[in-house]
Amino acid sequence: MRMSMAKRGVKSGGLKLGLTALVMALSMMVASHAEAAERAIAVTLRPGGVDAAKNISFVDVTLITTQEEGRRGLLRLPLVINNVKTSAMSVENLRARDADGDLALTAGYNPDGVKKYRYWRASRPVHGPVTVTYRIPITNALNPLGAAPPLELRSESGGFSGLVGTYVMLPDSDEPYRLRLNWDFTALGGDALGLSTLGVGTQTSTAKTPDELESTFTMGGHVGHEPGQPATDGFFSAWQGTPPFDARALMQWTHRLYGSYLTFFASPGATYNVFLRRNKINPGGGVEIGNSFVGTFDDGTPVEEFKLTLAHEMVHTFVGGLDEKDELAASWFSEGLAVYYQRLLPLRAGEITREAYLDDLNITAARYYTDLLNTTPNDQIPARFWADTRVRVLPYDRGALYFAQLNAEIVKASHGKRSLDDLVLPFLKRRTAGEKLTQAAWVEVVTRELGDKGKQQFDDMMAGKVIALDSDAFGVCFQRTQKPLRRYVLGFDPTVLVQPRRIIRGLVPGSAAAKAGLKDGDEILKPVPQDGIQADQNAKMKLLVRRGGKVWDVSYLPRGEVVPTWQWMAVDTPGCR
Ligand SMILES: [Zn+2]
């Protein structure tokens, strides 16, 4: 699962009859033998009816697991998953039975485990299929652990959603299971629909460990969806609640863009789902789960910005990451390309305007050139990634500008015949052929294209040398200009914001934070997302602060020194309008 920062951050094989049908029948027989030995768990989700606030207040879960003969340690639920408190402590009406009748279950914990679970053990060895039923209330309480991906069970407007790992008990085992997910909307009626990252309606997963099955996202009930029927290209989307924008139009836009990505990346297509739901803490971002994206909104979420988040996330699905051990150290590649293409592919597909492209490009350039820490070497990023937003944005901003300048060099050296696409697409294809995509392999690719200059440019980027972009790096329709912009200055030690208790220290005298009245020792009561604020020269920092018995709101413009920054502007020539 990869979290995305707010604001920047079914194949249909036509069946052939005749001989093919015979071969299929034979292979199905083989498959049914293989399945007999395979572990499986069938889960039915049955949401309750809607209450006066139009919320679903509980979901009843029935699960049947068949290959637990003689076992006693049966099921488990994580207590916390990706910083989200799960429903493990809220299980009600728990009942179990097997072939011998009622089965008493007792709950326990693993206080010393790396990942903490609540466990359920049977009072005797089980015999035959085990059926377990329980109820999970849906309270819509905010996650007590602070900023986290939108994974907990939530309901709005007759729909509900949540990650399997937050509310569905799974076998206490490391063996692979097939998960069959069924939906029962008897209590909801009407046109209720259930879908998950496995697909629309009843679906069965491939065999995965329970740990992997936890990362299945579910959404059901009265939800909006687009298209009406699952499309042959594999795209499907659903939303819970009412976003402040036209969700259907946005999802039609996303679907068209997805189609253009299939063409650009020469992909045969795969299932791609978009789920949308409300997020009160950090709207506009979301989380990628497998080939799906869970995006979030709140009443003020601007649709044009959100479009580029969706465009960004879909690039990830096609590009993936380098096969390097340290994901953060290699994120210049995945995030750099995702930012580079998030505006370029929609522009080429005619899905955003030239102005929107330019705005987004300038946001990247402004945040990069005003970043006091933009010379941080790449190998220091993993250690400081979560602690300092000015380091965290570097794989995105510096990565994207590295690829932009690389593209400019390739275009120039080939007299317009080649571009970055001609390196990226064949590189990605090597993964399909089973090759590992390493950083060294990428350096080989750029060296083959540009000689030593290609390697030098790469080494400079990794060393933290500020990227110098040509005036026409983004083509003849845009030219470079200089603009004075202000650096992002939080005004106190940034590691304060990643502590469990945010007690201000290292207050910078004379900073906007100090002028707003903050003092060392003040406690910040709510989590603070910074990445978007850093990207916006006019965005205020809003803090809820406590000093002694007094609690009050503090607001200030977290900006300092003015520095010359490169921006791009449109050139007003006929071919460029
Ligand atoms: Zn990303």
d(CA 25, CA 522): 70
* Ligand 1 centroid from CA 310, angstroms: 10
Is residue 564 exposed (0-12), middle (13-18) or buried (19+ Cβ within 10 Å)? Answer: exposed
**334 alpha carbon – ligand 1 mean position (Å):** 7
What is the rounded CA–CA span in Å between residue 443 and residue 434?
Answer: 19
Compute the distance from residue 476 Cα to the ligand 1 centre, in Å. Answer: 28
Distance between CA atoms of residues 402 and 410, nearest Å: 12
- Give residue 9 CA to ligand 1 midpoint distance, Å: 6
Which two tokens mark 307?
């479009």
Token output for 250: 């946005």
Give the class (CATH, top level) of 490-557: mainly beta
* Cis before 283 (ω within 30): no
> Can you say whether the dihedral through the CA atoms of 470, 473, 476, 477 is positive or negative?
negative
Q: Please tell me the distance from the alpha carbon of residue 408 to that of residue 552, in angstroms, as a whole number.
A: 50
Do 386 and 474 contact (CB within 8 A), yes or no? no
Separation of 155 CA from ligand 1 center, angstroms?
A: 27
Q: Which helix (H) or strand (E) holds 566?
A: strand 559-570
**Would you say how long the chain is, in residues?**
577
Backbone angles phi, psi at 556, to 5 degrees: -155, 160
Contact of 476 with 576, CB cutoff 8 Å? yes
What is the 507 CA–ligand 1 centroid distance (Å)?
A: 32
Closest by CA to 390, choosing from 411, 407, 376, is 376
Question: Which of the 8 DSSP states describes residue 175?
Answer: S
Ligand 1 centroid to Cα of residue 78, in Å, is 26
CA gap 55, 166 in Å, rounded: 19
Q: Is 274 exposed, middle or buried (0-12, 13-18, 19+ CB in 10 A)?
A: buried
Give the pLDDT score at 426.
Answer: 97
Q: Which of 307, 291, 318 is nearest to 343 (CA)?
A: 307
| Ligand 1 centre distance from Cα of residue 137 (Å) | 33
CB 118 within 8 A of CB 89: yes
In the block, residue with structure tokens 């949401």 = 47
Distance 405 CA to ligand 1 centre (A): 20
The CA 446 to ligand 1 mean position distance, Å, reads 23
Q: How far apart are CA 171 and CA 65, in angstroms?
A: 8
Q: Which two tokens stand for residue 273?
A: 């789902």
d(CA 146, CA 63): 31
Number of neighbouring beta carbons within 10 Å of residue 361 = 23
CA dist., res. 535 & res. 371, Å (int)? 10
What's the CA dihedral at 295, 299, 301, 303 to 10 degrees? 90
C-alpha closest to that of 462 among 324, 364, 567, 314: 324
Beta bridge partner(s), residue 488: 559
Are residues 328 and 337 in contact, defined by beta-carbon separation less than 8 angstroms? Answer: no
Given this model, what pLDDT does residue 421 score? 98
In the reported structure, the alpha carbon of residue 316 is separated from the centroid of ligand 1 by a whole-number distance in angstroms of: 7
Amino acid at 345: L
Q: Ligand 1: distance of its center to the CA of 559 in Å?
A: 25
pLDDT for the residue 38: 77
User: If you measure from the C-alpha of residue 341 to the centroid of ligand 1, how many angstroms do you get, rounded to a whole number?
Assistant: 11
Distance 171 CA to ligand 1 centre (A): 32
Q: How far is ligand 1, taken at its centre, from the CA of residue 242, in Å? A: 25
Structure tokens at 557: 């413009």
CA 531 to centroid of ligand 1, rounded, Å: 13
Measure 287 CA to ligand 1 centroid, in angstroms: 10
Q: Cβ atoms within 10 A of the Cβ of 157, count?
A: 19
Q: Nearest 5°: CA angle at 550, between 548 and 552?
A: 130
SS3 of 283-312: CCCEEEECCEEEEEECCCCCHHHHHHHHHH
Q: How far is the CA of 135 from the centre of ligand 1 (A)?
A: 36
Tokens 């097997």 label which residue? 98
Distance 399 CA to ligand 1 centre (A): 11
For the sheet containing 130-137, what is the strand order? 101-102, 92-98, 130-137, 58-65, 39-47, 177-183, 203-204
Token duo for residue 53:
């606030």
Q: With contact defined as beta carbons under 8 Å apart, do 259 and 232 qualify?
A: no
Q: Indicate left, alpha or beta for 101 from its phi (over 0: left) and psi (-120 to 50: alpha).
A: left
pLDDT score at 319: 94
Nearest to 566 by CA among 471, 462, 461: 471
C-alpha 223 – ligand 1 centre gap (Å): 27
Query: What is the Cα 546 distance to its own chain's centre?
Result: 33
Domain 324-470 is in which class? Answer: mainly alpha
For position 35, what pLDDT does the model report? Answer: 45
Contact between 171 and 211 (Cβ < 8 Å): no
pLDDT below 70 — which residues of the chain? 1-37, 146-147, 577
Q: Are 490 and 560 in contact (CB under 8 A)?
A: no
* Under 8 Å between Cβ of 387 and 494: yes
Domain residue limits, the chain: 2-10+37-313, 324-470, 490-557
What separation in Å is there between the alpha carbon of 37 and the centre of ligand 1?
40
Domain 2-10+37-313, CATH: 2.60.40.3650
551 SS3 class: strand
Q: HEC profile for 69-82? A: CCCCEEEEEECEEC
Residue 296's DSSP bridge partners are: 277
